[in-house]
Structure 1
Amino acid sequence: MKVLRYLLFCTLALTALNAFSQSSAELKKRRDKLNQELEQLNDEYQETLKNKKTNLKQLNLLKAQISVREDKINTLNSEVRLLGNQINENTNTVHTLQGQLDQLKKEYAAMIVFAYHNQSAYSKLMFVFAAKDFNQAYKRLKYLQQFGAYRERQAASIQGTQHELNHKITQLDRTKNEQANLLKDQEKEKEKLGKEKNDQVVVISTLSKQQGELKQQLKAAQRQKAQIERQIQVAIRREVEEARRRAEAEARAAAARLAAERAKAAAAGNAAPVAPKAAPAKSTNSELLNATPEAAKLSNDFLGNKGRLPWPVANGIITQEFGMTYIEGIKTDNPGIDIRTGSGAAVRTVFSGEVTSVNNISGTYLVVVRHGEYFTAYANLRSVSVSKGEKVGIKQSVGTVATDAATGETQVHFELYKGQTAVNPKLWLAPQ
C-alpha cells in the first residue's frame, strides 16, 4: 500500500508539473512576443523624436506602447502567480517526501535492530527447525527470504526518496529565483510605464498648444475615414438592392406562373389553383442578405467564429480602437480599428466570402468582402490582388498595406459590419 501511495503521489506531481510547464511556456511565449512589439514601438518612437516638432504619430506610438506595456505587466502577474502556486506545491511535496523518508528510515532502523539480534546463521536455523511441522518450517524459511528482499527494497526506496527530495529542493530553489527575477522585471516595467504615461501627458500638452494644426491632422484623418465609410455603405446598399431586385423578380415570376395556371384552368372549366401564401411586402436587410441557403450558411458560419477570426495582418498592434475617442477635447469617431504592421505587409481576409467592391480612395485602395449578411472592409492598401465578384478564402491576400509618406506610419484600417451597422472588429478577432 505504501508503494502504491508513493506511485500515486508521483503521478499526481508529474501531472501538475506538466500542466505548469505548458502554462508557463505559453506565458513566456506571450511575454517574448510583447517584448518584440515593445522594442519595435520604442525604435519607431525614438525615430519620431528626431523630428523636433511634436506630432500625432508620437502620441499614437506612446498610446500603443502603454497598452502593450500594461499587457506585459498583466502577463508577468500571471507568471508570478503561477510560480507562486508551483512554489506552494513543491514546498508541500518536499514536506511529504521528507515525512516519507523519515518513516522509511525509522522502519529500516527497526529492521536493522531485528537483524542484529538474529544475525547468526544458528539463530536462523533454530528459527526454522523450531517449527511444529514441515509446512510451518517452509513458511518460516520463505519469511526469512522475503524479509531479506524487503530490506533491500526498503534501502532502495530510501535512496530513491532521498534523490527525489533533493531534486524537489533544487527545483524549489530554482522556481523561487525565477519568481524573484520576474518580480524585479515587473518593477522595471512599472517604472517604464510611469515614464511613458508622463511622456504622454507632455505630448498631449504640447499638442494642445498646437490645437489648430492638430485639428487639421485629425480632420484630415476623419475625412479619409468618412470617405471609406461612404464607399462601404454604398457597397452594402448595392448588395441589399441587388438582393431585393432578385426577390422581387422571383415574386413576379411566381405571380406570372400562377396567373398562367389560372387562365389555363379557366379555359378548361376547372377550378382555379389556390394562390400560394404571399410573402411579406417588405423584407428586412438581414432577410434579403440571407435569402439564399448559401448566404444563410455563410452568415451562420461567420457568426459561429466570433472571437476566433484571424487578424487581417500576420503581425500587428491596434493603434486606435473602435468608437469615440477624445484628445484634449477633440472628438474622433473610428468606425473600425487601425492596426500598425510592418512595411509592405500582406493584408488578408478574415473569412471566406465574395469581393463586392474595390475602390481607390485618395491614392490608396479599399476592398470590401461579403460573408452572407456580414461585411469586412480592408482600407489603406498600397496595392490590391483581387477583383470585384471574386470568391476568396480565409487568410487569402487582398493586397499590401500602404505607408504614409508624411508620417512614416504603416497601418491597415479594418472595419466589420452586420448589414449596414458597424460593429467592433476587436471582439470578433482571435486574441493574440
Structure 2
Amino acid sequence: MKLYKLLYILFFSVFAISVSAQTANELRRKKEAIERDIEQLQKSLSKTASGKKLTLQQINVINTQIRLRQDKIGAINSEIKNLDNQISQNTNTVHTLQGQLGDLKKEYAGMIRFAQRNRNSYDKMMFIFAAKDFNQAYKRIKYLQQFSQYRKKQAGYIENTQQDLNGKIRVLDRTLKEKSDLLKEQERERERLGKDKSQQSAVLNTLSKQERTFKQDIASKKKQQAQIDRAIRAAIQRAIDEARRKAAEEARIAAAKRAAEEKAAAEKARLENRPAPVATKAAAVKTKTTSEALTATPETARLSDGFENNRGKLPWPVATGQITERFGLHKVDQASYTNNGVDITTSAGTSVRAVFAGKVIKVDYIQGRAVIIIMHGDYFTIYQNLRDVKVSVGSSVEIKQVLGSVATTGDDAILKFQIWRGNVIQNPEAWISK
C-alpha cells in the first residue's frame, strides 16, 4: 500500500509539472513576443526622436511602448505565480518522499534486526528439517526465499526513493533560481517602465510648447483622413446600392414571369371554354435590408458567414507589427480626432495581406498612397497607406494573399486597417487574432 501511495504521489507530481511546464512555455513565448515588439518600437522611436519637431507618431509609439511594458510585467508576474505553484508542489513532494524514505528505512532496519536476532536461534537447515512433513518443509523453504527477496525489494525501493528525492531537490533548486532571475527581470522592467513614463512626461511637456504646431498637424491629418474616409464610405455605399439594385431587379423579373404565366393560363382556359384560374394578387416588393442585399447569393452568404465565424481569429494584415493607434476617439492635449480603424506600425516595405477571402471593389490612390477595399459578403476590409498594389478591381483574393506593401510616411511604415459591416464601422481589434 505504501508503494502504491508513493507511485500515486509521483504520478500526480509529474502530471502537475507537465501542465505547469506547458503554461510556462506559453508565458515565455508571450513575453518574448512582447519584447520583440518593444525592440521594434524602440528602433522606430529612435529614428523619429532625432527630429526637432514632435510628431503624433512619437506620442503613439511611447504610449504603446508603455502599454507593452506593462503587459510584459504582467506576463512575468504570471510566470512567478506559476513557479510559486511548482515550488509548492515540489516542496510537498519532497516532504512526502522524505517521509516515505524514513518509513522504508525503519521497516528495513526492523527486518535486519529480526534476521540478526534469529540467525543463531534458528539455523536455516534446522528450521526446515524441523518441519512435520514435506509440505510444511516446502512452505518454510518458500518463506525463507520470499523473505530474502522482500529484503532485496525493500533495498531497491529505498534506493529508488532516494534517487527521486534527490531529483526533486535538484528541480526545486532550479525552480528557485528561475524565480530569483524572474524577480530581477521584473525589477529591470519596472525601471524601464519608469523611464518610459518619464519620457512620456517629457514629450507631453514638449507638446505644450509646440501646441500650435501640433494642433496644425492634427488638423491637417484630420483633413487628409476625412477625404479618404469619404472615398471609403462612398465606395461601400455604391456596393450596397448595387446589391440592392440587383435584388430589386431579380424581384421585378420574378414578378413579371409570374404575371406572364398567369396570363397564359387564363388564355388557355378561355380557349378551352372553362373558368379562368384566379389570378394571385401581386405581392408588394419588400425592400431588403443592407445585410440581406449584400448576402443575396449563396456565395456572398458563405463569405459573410465565414468572416463572422472567424471573429477574433482573423490573421493580421501584416506578418509583423504593433498597433500604435487604437480604434475610436483620441485626445492629445487639447486636440482630438477619431480613428475608424487601427494603425499598425511595421517595417518599411512589409507585405500587406488580405485577412479573408473576398472580392476587390476599389483600388484608389489618394495623396499618393493606395487604398484597397475588399468585400466579404456583408463585411468590408480596408487597407490604407500602401505604396504599391498587386490586385485590381473585380479580382477575387484568398486569405493571406499579398495585396501590396506598406508605404513609409516620414520615418515610419504605418498600415491603416479598417473593418466595416455594411455601412457600420467595426473595431478591428475585436476581429483579428490576439
Q: TM-score range by the shorter chain?
A: over 0.9
1:143 match: secondary structure: helix
How far is 1:280 from its partner? Answer: 4.8
Does residue 413 of structure 1 match 2:416? yes
Equivalence for 1:396: 401
Query: Structure 2 CA distance, aligned partners of 1:136 and 1:219?
Result: 107
Query: Structure 1 CA distance, aligned partners of 2:48 and 2:266?
Result: 84
Query: Structure 1 CA distance, aligned partners of 2:49 and 2:353?
Result: 32
Query: Structure 1 CA distance, aligned partners of 2:178 and 2:66?
Result: 25
In structure 1, stretches of 5+ residues that fail to align are: none
Equivalence for 2:426: 423
Structure 1 pair 333–129 and aligned structure 2 pair: CA distance change class (3 A): same
How far is 1:5 from its partner? Answer: 2.5
Task: Tell me which amino acid in the other structure corresponds to 1:146.
Answer: Q
In structure 2, stretches of 5+ residues that fail to align are: 270-274
Equivalence for 1:199: 199
Query: Structure 1 CA distance, aligned partners of 2:132 and 2:79?
Result: 68
How far is 1:8 from its partner? Answer: 2.4
8 A Cα contact 1:55 1:207, kept in partner: no
Equivalence for 1:356: 361
Does residue 314 of structure 1 match 2:319? yes
Does residue 370 of structure 1 match 2:366? no
1:333 match: secondary structure: strand
How far is 1:273 from its partner? Answer: 6.2
TM-score (norm 2): 0.95
1:53 match: secondary structure: coil
1:379 match: secondary structure: strand
User: What is the correspondence of 1:232-271 to structure 2 with a 5 Å cutoff?
Assistant: 232-269=232-269, 271=276
Equivalence for 1:14: 14
Task: Tell me which amino acid in the other structure corresponds to 2:213.
Answer: E
TM-score (norm 1): 0.95
**1:6-58 deviation line (CA, Å, top 9, x unaligned):** 22222222221211221111211221222222222223323333223333332
Structure 1 pair 236–52 and aligned structure 2 pair: CA distance change class (3 A): closer
Equivalence for 2:218: 218
Deviates more, 1:162-171 or 1:219-228: 219-228
Query: Structure 2 CA distance, aligned partners of 1:93 and 1:419?
Result: 59
Task: Tell me which amino acid in the other structure corresponds to 1:214.
Answer: F
Deviates more, 1:269-278 or 1:336-345: 269-278
Query: Structure 2 CA distance, aligned partners of 1:158 and 1:321?
Result: 62
Query: Structure 1 CA distance, aligned partners of 2:283 and 2:115?
Result: 101
User: What is the correspondence of 1:100-139 to structure 2 with a 5 Å cutoff?
Assistant: 100-119=100-119, 123-139=123-139
1:199 match: secondary structure: helix
Task: Tell me which amino acid in the other structure corresponds to 1:143.
Answer: Y
8 A Cα contact 2:312 2:430, kept in partner: yes
Query: Structure 2 CA distance, aligned partners of 1:188 and 1:199?
Result: 17
How far is 1:271 from its partner? Answer: 3.0
Structure 1 pair 134–262 and aligned structure 2 pair: CA distance change class (3 A): same
How far is 1:224 from its partner? Answer: 2.8
**1:185-239 deviation line (CA, Å, top 9, x unaligned):** 1122112112211211221121122122111211222223222322221221111
Task: Tell me which amino acid in the other structure corresponds to 1:36.
Answer: R
Structure 1 pair 101–252 and aligned structure 2 pair: CA distance change class (3 A): same
Query: Structure 2 CA distance, aligned partners of 1:240 and 1:362?
Result: 26
Task: Tell me which amino acid in the other structure corresponds to 2:268.
Answer: A
Deviates more, 1:124-133 or 1:276-285: 276-285
**1:305-357 deviation line (CA, Å, top 9, x unaligned):** 11111111111100000000100121110000000111110010111111111
Deviates more, 1:132-141 or 1:21-30: 132-141
How far is 1:422 from its partner? Answer: 0.5
How far is 1:122 from its partner? Answer: 5.7
For the aligned residue pairs, the C-alpha RMSD in angstroms reads: 1.8
8 A Cα contact 2:48 2:411, kept in partner: no
Task: Tell me which amino acid in the other structure corresponds to 1:201.
Answer: S
